[in-house]
Structures are given as C-alpha cells and as structure tokens.
Structure 1
Amino acid sequence: MNTPADAFELTEPELTADDLLFVEDPHFEPASVAIVTGAASGIGRATAVALAANGLTVVGADIDEAGLEGTVDLAAAVGVDGTVRPLPTDLTDDGDVEAMVETAAEAGELRYVASIAGMQYISPIPEFPPEKYDLLLDVMLRAPFMTAKFAMPHIRATGDGVGAIANMSSVHGQYATQDKAAYITAKHGLEGLTRAIAAEGEGTLRGFSVSAGYVLTPLMMNQIEDTAEERGISEREVVEDVMLGQARGKEMLTPAEVANLFTFGFSKHGKHLNGADLLWDGGYTHTYE
C-alpha cells in the first residue's frame, strides 16, 4: 500500500546500548543508588536504563506499573551492569514520595535524583481548567521539591556527601509559547528550585537542570496531536513550523540523547555543573532569523 505524500508519522526510536554514554566514575557502582521519576516511558525510561547501564542501582518510580515493567525489560535487553528496581509511585501523594526516597535509601547509598516525570495540557489561559493547572504543578514542581526535601539528608549522610539532584526542565523553562501556561510555569519554577538546591548543597551535593528541545517521546507525540487540533493546522505543520521552525537543527532529540546528559551531569566530569542548566536545544533558544 502506498503512503500518501502528505502523510506524517513519528515513532519513538528503539533504545540500544550503542545509544548510551558510558562514563568511568568511582561512584558509578551498584552500591550507589539513583532515583528516576517518570521511569515508565520516554526520557525517564531512557535515563533509568542509561544509569543502570553505568552500574548504578536505579529506583525507577512512576504511577504506570505496566510501563515500569517495560523499563525493566528494556534494561535486560540492553544488558545493563546495574539494576532497575520498579517502584509504583503517585507523585501527587507526599507519603508516596517520602516512601520512594526511603526505599531508595534502603537499597544502598542514595546519591542521585533525576526528577523527570512530566505532563502536558494544551489550552489558552482563559479556558485552562484550574484542576489541570494544579495537577501539572503538583507533578512537575511540588513533587521535585518534596523529593529533594526527603533525599538531601540521605545524600549528605553518605561517606563523602557527593551526589546530585537533577530536574528535567525544558526550553519552556527559558521562554514561553502560547497554550502551555501550567507547563511553562512549572519549568520556570524548576529552574529556581534547582538553584535553591545548589545554594544549600555545600558544593558536594549539586543541583542542576536539563533543558532539551523537542524530544521524540509519547508525551511529545500526544502534544503534536493536541497542538494541531488547538491551532487548526496539520501535525506536519506543528513539527516543522511550530516546534522546529525556530531551531537551527531540524531533528528532534531522542530520549537516549537526553538520558546521556543526566549520566554526564551526575558523573565526576560534571562536578562544576551546579545551579546551572544543560541547554540542549539545537540553537532554539538563543538564535533567531
């Protein structure tokens, strides 16, 4: 069957070991534990696998239990040296967040946190449902704060106090576009939270954020559909004109490429990355025509 010339389809790439960054680091071993939220899909899944591939014990947290099992299966297929331990977690429940951190601390020396879980809702501000606004802020801003609150004492209690808390920000943590008020507010807030963590980290406990451009994830593919409907344009136009129109690079990032930034940032090679943002956006933010 021939595909129509105007047909448009995006699929999330399959992750393999060849996609991953491997780093030599004395703390990248099974005794060191990393929490990864949003680990059931997309960037969170790729990051959980990437960190486990570097020898860490990873507690992968998500509300999607079936998705977490898929992450465990992917780690096995990649052949990781570490372990991914799935932990069903409701990030809107402070008790669940605290239990997540305690479970991680019981698994070894908790040194790393990657707060990646995210959501999106497309709507202009006058029609934006307040309950959706609250939900997105709970998952993407309050939960990272509560995770840091509970995790920081454990990281400080390790032998040398070395560790890092990383927050998944976005180009939308740098500027705003229309119809994404809650997402943009959360990501801007995460930049502030990251700096606050760094300010209190005393140098050995670092805070940093990762800001990617558009990444081929299930969340992004849903967003393409929603944006096309909201603006009355085709999905191809959303990708080529709205999402990548301003970028110098014309390819979306893959989840593995973003996961590698967390690996680098957590490693000894990222020791001067503190309170700052790894902006990986293909020139989207700081160039224009």
Structure 2
Amino acid sequence: MNSTQIKCFLSLGKTLNFTQTAQDLYLAQPTVSKNIHNLEKEIGVTLISHKHRQIQLTKEGQYFYQILLRLSTEMENTIKKMQDSKITTLHTISIGYSGLPFEKQFLPIFIQLMQQKDKWNIELKAVSLSQPGILDKIAKHEIDFMIYQSDFFAQNSLPYSPMIEAGFSVIIRRDSPLKKYAQVPISALNKKIFLWDGNTPLSSVAKLKRALKEEISDNALEIQIIHKVSLATMLVQAKDGIAIVPSFAYDYNNQDVFYRYLDWDYTTKYGLGYVKEKENAPYFKDVITNMHKAINLVKEKWNK
C-alpha cells in the first residue's frame, strides 16, 4: 500500500466519481482505477461497488475510508504543529531603535534580509532615549543591539559597530533666507537655536555648542536644548528660530521645512552598540552584514 493508492482512495471516497478524482489528483482516469484495484488486491477487501453506473463504498470500504481519513487528518495536524514549533523556536534578536525617519526606511529591509536564512526572528523595541536605563537593558540582554550615535556608547566603553558617518543638519522654515545655502555656515546662525542632545549629553553636541558660542556673539545667540528630534521640526514651524540635529535625523518625507547641512568640519558615527559577548553569538555576523546592506540600499535611493 503506497501513498498514491491512499490518495486515490481518499479522493474517490469523497467524490464517488473516477473522473473527478482523476482531475483533482492530476492523474489519468485509468491510473486511478489501477491504483484502487491494486489497493483492494493488496489488502484482500473489496472497497467499492458499481451500482447503476454509480460508485459506492462497500461496508468495508466505508470503514477503511474513515480510518484513513482520521489518520490523514492526524498526519496533517502533526506536520502543522512541527512547522509552528519551528517558527517559535527561531532565535529572537532584539534591536532597540529611537524612531528616526531614517530607521523606518532601512529597518524593514534589514528584517527581510535577516529572515531569508529562516534562522533569526527580529524583535524591534522602540526606545525613548530620554529615559534612563537604556544601557542597563543592553547589559542585561533585554536588548541585544541598540542603534544610536557612537559617542553615546563611547562614554560607557561598550563595543560599537559603525554603519554610517555624517555631521549635523540645520532645520529651517521654508521662508528662511538660510535656504540659499547648501551648507549653512555657523556665522549665519544669528537666531534662536533649538539644539538636539541626548538625555545623556553627547560629546559631539558639546563640541558643537562650544563652536556655536565661539563663532556667534553672545547677544545674538540663544540656545535651547531639546531631547526629541520630532520636537525640533515642530518648534521651527511654530517659532522664529532654527534647529540643529544630527544628519541621521533627516526626514525626507517632511515637506514643511528645509534641511541644510551645517558647515562644520566634524562628523559622528551612527551604528550598533552591544555588550562584548554578542561578538561570539552565532547571529552577530548576520546582524552586522545585513544592517550594512540595508543602510546602503537606502543611501542608494537618496542618491537617485
């Protein structure tokens, strides 16, 4: 008794029609008849009868059909459970992110790349960097990798894998005279400045603040520190001032303001922070490689 014989009999028991069974199984009708005949011969029992040109299951055939149907259903359920178990046992890798527009562009691509090997399940965790305890989450392995600026991790001696390097950008109103600059010189910033900084002050922002004070006279400089990038755009739109944020925070979909590079010879890196043990994890190389690929794919779209 082979699988083809069983499939033919189960289908015939349902359709009671050789032609329909042949069509359902993509077999020739004589092939179906031969398989049923061989099955009856092998088990020594008549399974079907012909009455008035109609197919019927014999009493033995009905019993055998119910047994095979139950076994087939159990087999399908077992296979499904095994497949579901395989999905749930994929290793989950947690990635902390702050919600920058740039992240929303490349993270879906990164997830697709990671899932191609059918080994890793990515769990994204939105993290508010204005809240304390982020580094504790990394140390306790509640977050495997955190996407953020390099100087945030440098202050705490955590390993870091850089992905992209950039400077700072100026956010201005659409009617601002600063829009004429491709790169805005610091000397032209003579208005109120909303300067983004992390809840844990970053060395790159501290250097920028010193540069601003050195090049702009005190009576023309008013700096207000903000901790959310999303707030920067809102304040620029609502008030007479400009905002300075890392270029990683560039929102390409926001048509209400202009972004211009700040003409300042300093760059900072953006990438993944983690604990040292992660470098020995089986997924470490895949995470680093695929995030590089995802970011580069997004960068190519910018260039186009």
State if a TM-score over 0.5 links the two structures. no
TM-score normalized by structure 1?
0.29
Of Structure 1 and Structure 2, which has the larger fraction of its residues in helix? Answer: 2
Name the TM-score, length of structure 2 as normaliser: 0.28
Greater fraction of residues in strand = 2
